[in-house]
Amino acid sequence: MLIGHIKEIVRHPVKSFRGESVQQSKIMAYGLYGDRSHTYLDETKSGNFLTITQFQEMVRYKARFVGEESMEAYPKVEITTPEGKVFDWEDQTLINEMEYKSKRQIATRRYTPVHVPIGPIAVEHVLLATDASLNKLTELWGKDEVDLRRFRPNLFISLKEKRPFIEEEWIGRRIKIGTEVEMEFVGHCKRCMIITVNPDDSERDSSLHKTVIKENNNNFGVYASVIKTGDIHVDDEIHLLE
């Protein structure tokens, strides 16, 4: 059954940094190629991942791959700071800036194109959200248009039938994307303070999180596990399998 198509593909080369919207990508066993493949570690916290929770301004740093993608090595990771400066992700000047702003000692870690463990990627392989649910949340919040970037999904789906939160009814079922990829919906995405942080100015507004808690049991988006790998593209059809 046709349920919609891919409206946007977003990968986050660096965990907690702003991601990049791409027209096509590969779905690997761990999820979207390169997603959360590079991370900063908070050495003041015994090497835990540095995230927006500790350093809100991370949402304003943009990360993207530059160069040829391969299974042997990731392309260069380029970072654009909130002030518009461009650095390699391991440039010491960039790290010094982040350490000064966050008041933390920072180290780096990267994974390989064929293996990104659960942890950097959060709970499951791929996070999906739908246009109908986003529009409904904007209506429920009643303040501003809700920015999709607050929720950091990998795949943003345009539904054929615009039923808000219908994706939650598909948990336990499989979908096929395009001609190759298959995934299984496995669970809700429980939300935290990160969605309160405005991606443009890193200011917090707790009312959005309160709305998600009140109106949808603190859920927004669904996780999916990869069943079959392959290539995906913007506008690929998505079919719910029997």
Q: Give percent of the chain with pLDDT exceeding 70.
A: 96
More confident residue, 164 or 29: 164
Q: What is the pLDDT of residue 157?
A: 98
Say what the pTM is: 0.94
Q: 3-state class of 116 per DSSP?
A: coil
For 222, which DSSP code?
E
Q: What are phi and psi of 210, to 5 degrees?
A: -60, -35
pLDDT at residue 121 above 70? Answer: no
Q: Which residues pair with 42 in a beta bridge?
A: 48, 106
Q: What is the pLDDT of residue 119?
A: 56
Structural domains of the chain ordered from first start: 2-240 (2.40.33.20)
Whole-number average pLDDT of the chain:
94
Retrieve residue 11's tokens. Answer: 């990968």
Alpha-carbon distance of 7 to 23, in angstroms, equals 10
The string of pLDDT tens digits covering residues 146-193 is 999 999 999 999 999 999 999 999 999 999 999 999 999 999 999 999
Give the number of residues written for the chain: 242
